[in-house]
Each structure stands twice: as C-alpha cells, then as structure tokens.
Amino acid sequence: MCGGVLSILFFIPHIEGALAAYYDVSTVSQRTSTYLLNVHRPTEGFLWDQVYDDHHPLDVGHKIMADLVVNLIQEVAVRLVVSPMTPAELNLPEMPLPPPMHEGNFEPLGTTCLVDEAFRGIAIATEGWQWVNEGTEAKPKWGFVSTTPGRQLILRLGETAHNDILSSRPNGTFPVLFQFLVSYTSIMGKAIIDCHSGCNCKQTLADGHITEKISVTRMMQIHIHWPAHSGPCDLKVTVSNETSTEGHKFKVRA
C-alpha cells in the first residue's frame, strides 16, 4: 500500500473525528468501515489502494461513502421513531456554537473567488502572456500562459479597503489561494510569485513540473499583508529563468 493512502486513511480521520467530537455531531468513517476487509480479512475490491488514490476516493470509495451516509440517516430515522426528541433536544439547534478548536481560527468576514472572465479582469499587465483555453468548450481550462523567462503578469487583488472584501482581518493580512498548472511534460517551467506594490508577501517559487504522469491544478497559499490600504495591492508572477525541463511554460489557472 502506498504512503499517500496510508496518510489519508490513518491520519486525516483522526482530525475529522476530533472535529466531530468537539462539535458533538455524527460522523462516518470510511477507514473503520474497510478496516476488517483489509487487516483481518483482505478482500479484493475493497483494499485501501482500491478505495483511495493518494488524495481522493476512487469509484468504490465514493460508493462506500454513499452507503455509510445512507445507513446513518436510516439509523437516525429508526431511533427517532423509537425515541422521539424531547423539547430540550429540539431547542439544541438554537444554542450558539462553541469557540473554534484553535484560538482565533474564525472564518473570514468576506471571501472572493475569481474564475474565468472574472479572473481575467484583475490582470492589469499581461505582456508576454496569453489568455487561452487549453481544454474544450464543454470542459474549459482557462488561464494565463507564458513561455518566455522574465515576462511578468500583474494581478490587482484590490484597490482600497473601502471596496475590497479580501482584506477582512484587523491586521490587514489575508490568504490568497494561487492556482497554477503542474504537469509531467518536458516544457513546464517555474515562476516567481511576489507582491508588486501596495502590499507585502513572502517571495515564492512555483514549479510547474512534476514527475508523476499527470497534469493537474495545484494550489499555493500566499499570505498577503496589506495594513495601510492606501493604494492598490498587486501580485506579480514572473516566469523564471530557472527550469528543470527543456522549456519555461507556466500557466496561471483561472
């Protein structure tokens, strides 16, 4: 069994279980449901590497999860017939949630998700970059693509605090999930991600090349510090001279 499956099935459920226990809600466990079929009585078709890949459930995994949820709903329905909820239990949904498990881990006051043309609209400098669809009309894969080292793509994340809901935290720091293409092809390159003006962030190198025989979108979290809000906050993407392949292609996914 591969290490990725081990990490998903044996460590992630601990976190999910702790969260369910903290908020006192019902939960189901794919790991528990398949444990006997792997450890004590290995059963073809239900082995862990047949249920999961490195990160996601496979077809069998989705079917197992559906069965678990349906079974939970059926059990709850039967129990309610046998033992209906009391008036006190009916009032439980009115109670406030407990504070976050991790101190200060509150949800943002506002979020923004920019895709397709909305994402294209925040690009204020695109020389050397092309806005292209590398998918199909039915399954589009839009994004900005460049193959020339040194070319810069400038993305305006916000104008000022008065009209920008991205900056919702008191200290002016907010996370940005930056999406880019990673692929095994021999033309993929790297890009330097940093803040261009108006705000600050740690410079990061994004590598578009991977060894696995797949082409997928990867997310990188960038913490933007924008305390003054006196001017626009711009993020800069520069195609790097450095590459581990024959090319320098870098694609920012929309």
Domain boundaries, the chain: 3-94, 116-253
Q: Binning pLDDT at 50, 70 and 90, where does residue 12 land?
A: confident
Q: Tell me what pLDDT residue 3 has.
A: 46
Mean pLDDT computed over every residue of the chain: 87
Ordered alpha helix ranges (H), the chain: 3-23, 30-35, 48-51, 59-82, 87-90, 116-120
The pLDDT of 191-219, averaged and rounded, is 94
Instruction: Give the whole-angstrom CA distance, residue 201 versus residue 223.
Output: 6
Minimum mean pLDDT range among 49-58, 78-87, 148-157 = 49-58
**Taking phi first (over 0 means left), then psi (-120 to 50 degrees means alpha), and beta for anything else, what does residue 24 get?**
left
Q: Please, are residues 244 and 184 in contact by the beta-carbon 8 Å criterion?
A: no
pLDDT surpasses 90 at 106? no
pTM for the structure as a whole: 0.65
Query: Which token pair is 43?
Result: 């059963």
pLDDT surpasses 70 at 4? no
In terms of Cβ atoms closer than 10 Å to its own Cβ (0-12, 13-18, 19+), residue 245 is middle
* Cβ-count burial 42-62 (b if 16+ within 10 Å, e if not): eeeebbbebbbeeeeeeeebe
Q: Binning pLDDT at 50, 70 and 90, where does residue 21 land?
A: very high
Q: Binning pLDDT at 50, 70 and 90, where does residue 109 land?
A: low
**What's the pLDDT tens digit per position in 68-101?**
999 999 999 999 999 999 999 898 888 888 888 8
CA dihedral 119, 120, 123, 126 (to 10 degrees): 140
User: What phi and psi, each to the nearest 5 degrees, are found at residue 34?
Assistant: -110, 5
- Give all strands (DSSP E) within the chain, no chain letters: 123-125, 130-133, 142-146, 152-158, 173-183, 190-197, 204-207, 215-225, 233-239, 250-253
Minimum mean pLDDT range among 141-145, 152-156, 232-236 = 232-236
Q: Which amino acid is at 167?
A: S
Q: Tell me what pLDDT residue 79 has.
A: 95
Q: Binning pLDDT at 50, 70 and 90, where does residue 171 land?
A: low
Pick from 181, 164, 151: nearest CA to 226: 164
Q: Tell me what pLDDT residue 232 has.
A: 85
Q: Tell me what pLDDT residue 108 has.
A: 66
Query: Which token pair is 30?
Result: 């794919």
Q: Tell me what pLDDT residue 103 has.
A: 77
**Fold for domain 116-253?**
Jelly Rolls (2.60.120)
